């Protein structure tokens, strides 16, 4: 009898110890498989051998998040994040490291002629904003400095102040430009058009989001051939991640030294570190204890793809060839779309277009804008934060413990590269806090990296 009881007790204890959370103290759970989540996994693996299992949860059946493609009549086009700046060094390094191909700008893209539509007539401009933005781009490059000279940041404000970028988030782009003696006409007719194209918003966005938006309108922009989402996919594959596709996390509970995550599939996971790599603004994740972040609205961008031909009469023109390749618009309540661009000219009477708008475009309206419409595809993106100034930032560390939020940085600017920059800092923050606030270099941190090309050679 005693033997049976002891045996039962031993088996119970063995089972308990197998499932005890203390067994997996360095397990990391990441919610979101976009560039932020995949980059956190990548940098954790690159900087440390102390992390055990990394799980990534993705509610959708594919990875990449806002990096996604659509296929129209057999051709693939970027549906969300489409362009990268030549100095987006993390993205460049990911692309090279993963053996992906850079798709460079075509000759016409690099000196793009833009038609600005005010609802009645076109004004024609050429975009050239590189020089004015050089200082901001140069400041941003500080985030690629070596780890030895670059602190680990525990909040967004300090991260921005260190690179001299914080002040740009305290004033609107319009205030910055007026301060730089830009004429009201230039602001209204060109800069507004660009911020509307890139962030769906006016020049009332913060100066920093504005500067990033202007940087995204210069020459030499690039993308990953076949789709930018392949960066996330490649990083996940390379980082020994347990990927849970179609698994939406619905609750995160702090239970002492670890977190319990529950998914809508009815599964439960425990991990010592939990990283939120998605905007929390439109999510219904239940946190226990509750967390508090500043209220933030997402700007919705309705993306409509049309295979067909624009109607020149809608623009008061005679021929479709008179319509510019990129039609931008000024701020006016009467204008139903933000921009229209030609993605591909298949033949003189067959194009693929992409339209951005703040509201969904009805069939009736599309039938006015297009004379031929063979195929239409619509996506409603919770695209990026609705920016304002002064910006308020959510914390990187949501609960003073090990619950982290990469997308707090999106209030500075929302791009693939800024997500990767925030993720790199996040990996270092996690590792240094795991090491009991020790400087980076302790706690199993690798002193040299296997892919040291992650520092750009210039830097």
Ligand X SMILES: Cc1cc2nc3c(=O)[nH]c(=O)nc-3n(C[C@H](O)[C@H](O)[C@H](O)COP(=O)(O)OP(=O)(O)OC[C@H]3O[C@@H](n4cnc5c(N)ncnc54)[C@H](O)[C@@H]3O)c2cc1C
Residues that bind ligand X (CB under 6 A): 31-37, 57-60, 65-67, 80-83, 248-249, 277-278, 283, 285, 301, 303, 381, 383-384, 407, 414-417, 419
Residue 310 CA from chain centroid, whole number: 31
Structure tokens that stand for 87 in this block: 């100095």
| Distance separating alpha carbons of residues 309 and 351, to the nearest angstrom | 6
Query: Least distance to ligand X from the beta carbon of 140, Å?
Result: 13
Shortest Cβ distance from residue 402 to ligand X (Å)?
18
Closer to ligand X by Cβ: residue 51 or 408: 408
The H or E element spanning position 31 is strand 28-31
Closest CB to ligand X among residues 301, 311 = 301
Of residues 309 and 326, the one with the C-beta less far from ligand X: 326
Q: Which is nearer to ligand X, 122 or 218 (CB)?
A: 218
Nearer Cβ to ligand X (122/247): 247
Beta strands in 118-174 (DSSP E): 122-126
**Rounded Cα distance, 367 and 369, in Å:** 6
- In whole angstroms, the minimum distance from the beta carbon of 53 to ligand X comes to 17
Residue from 158, 154, 152, 160 nearest 440 by CA: 152
To the nearest whole angstrom, how small is the minimum distance from the Cβ of residue 438 to ligand X? Answer: 28
DSSP 362-381: PHHHHHHHEEEEEEEEEEEE
The rounded distance, in Å, linking the Cα atoms of 411 and 157 is 10
Shortest Å, Cβ 177 to ligand X: 22
**Shortest reach from residue 1's CB to ligand X, in Å:** 50
How far apart are CB 81 and ligand X at their closest, in Å? 3
Identify which of residues 80 and 324 has a Cβ nearer to ligand X in the complex.
Answer: 80
Rounded-to-integer distance, Cα 363 and Cα 227, Å = 28
Nearer to ligand X, 111 or 264 (CB): 264
Name the strand (E) or helix (H) holding 148: none
- The percent helix, strand, coil of the chain (3-state, each to 5) is 35, 25, 40
């Amino acid at each position: 009898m005693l033997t049976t009881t002891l045996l039962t007790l031993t088996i119970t204890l063995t089972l308990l110890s197998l499932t005890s959370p203390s067994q997996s103290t360095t397990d990391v759970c990441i919610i979101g498989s976009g560039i932020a989540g995949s980059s956190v996994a990548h940098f954790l693996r690159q900087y440390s051998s102390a992390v055990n299992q990394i799980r990534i949860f993705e509610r959708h059946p594919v990875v990449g998040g806002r990096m996604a493609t659509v296929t129209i009549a057999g051709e693939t086009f970027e549906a969300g994040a489409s362009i990268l700046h030549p100095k987006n060094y993390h993205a460049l390094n990911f692309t090279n490291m993963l053996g992906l191909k850079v798709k460079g700008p075509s000759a016409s893209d690099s000196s793009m002629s833009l038609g600005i539509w005010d609802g009645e007539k076109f004004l024609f401009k050429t975009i050239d904003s590189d020089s004015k933005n050089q200082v901001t781009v140069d400041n941003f490059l500080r985030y690629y400095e070596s780890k030895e000279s670059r602190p680990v940041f525990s909040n967004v404000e300090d991260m921005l102040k260190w690179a001299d970028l914080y002040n740009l988030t305290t004033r609107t782009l319009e205030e910055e430009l007026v301060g730089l003696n830009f004429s009201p006409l230039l602001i209204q007719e060109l800069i507004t058009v660009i911020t509307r194209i890139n962030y769906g918003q006016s020049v009332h966005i913060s100066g920093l989001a504005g500067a990033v938006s202007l940087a995204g309108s210069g020459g030499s922009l690039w993308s990953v051939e076949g789709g930018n989402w392949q960066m996330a996919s490649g990083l996940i594959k390379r980082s020994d991640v347990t990927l849970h596709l179609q698994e939406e996390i619905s609750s995160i509970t702090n239970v002492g030294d670890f977190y319990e995550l529950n998914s809508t599939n009815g599964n439960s996971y425990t991990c010592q570190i939990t990283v939120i790599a998605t905007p929390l603004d439109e999510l219904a994740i239940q946190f226990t204890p509750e967390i508090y972040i500043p209220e933030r609205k997402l700007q919705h961008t309705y993306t409509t793809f049309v295979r067909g031909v624009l109607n020149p009469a809608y623009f008061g023109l005679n021929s479709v060839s008179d319509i510019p390749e990129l039609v931008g618009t000024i701020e006016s309540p009467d204008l139903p779309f933000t921009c229209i661009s030609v993605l591909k000219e298949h033949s003189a009477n067959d194009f693929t277009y992409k339209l951005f708008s703040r509201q969904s475009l009805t069939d009736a309206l599309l039938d006015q804008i297009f004379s031929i419409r063979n195929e239409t595809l619509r996506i409603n993106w919770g695209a990026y934060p609705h920016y304002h100034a002064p910006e308020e930032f959510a914390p990187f560390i949501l609960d003073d413990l090990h619950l982290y939020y990469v997308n707090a940085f999106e209030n500075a600017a929302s791009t693939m590269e800024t997500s990767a920059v925030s993720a790199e800092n996040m990996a270092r923050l996690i590792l240094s806090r795991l090491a009991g606030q020790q400087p980076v270099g302790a706690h199993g941190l690798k002193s040299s990296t296997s892919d040291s090309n992650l520092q750009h050679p210039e830097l």
